[in-house]
Amino acid sequence: MILTCSKLDLNAYTARQVNHLLPFKRKVTAQRVSRSAGMALDRLEHCFRHIAHPHYSDGTQARFDPLHSDQYCHFLFFLSWQAYTDAQDEDLAKRLFYLNKILHAFNCMYDTALPDVFWLIHVVGTVLGKARYRNHLVVRQNCTVGAIRGDYPDLGNGLILSANTSVIGRCRIGQNVMLGPGCTLVNENVPDNTLVLRNPKIICKPNSERALSTHFYH
CA 214, CA 210: separation in Å to the nearest integer?
6
Sequence spans of domains, the chain: 2-106, 118-215
Encode pLDDT of 96-149 as tens digits: 999 999 999 999 999 999 999 999 999 999 999 999 999 999 999 999 999 999
Question: Selecting from 2.60.40.2580, 3.90.45.10, 1.10.540.10, 2.160.10.10, what CATH number does the domain 118-215 have?
Answer: 2.160.10.10
The candidate with the shortest Cα–Cα distance to 84, out of 40, 136, 117, is 40
Q: 0.85 cut: is pTM over it? A: yes
The contacts of residue 149 (CB under 8 Å, 6+ apart) are none
User: How high is the pLDDT of residue 8?
Assistant: 98
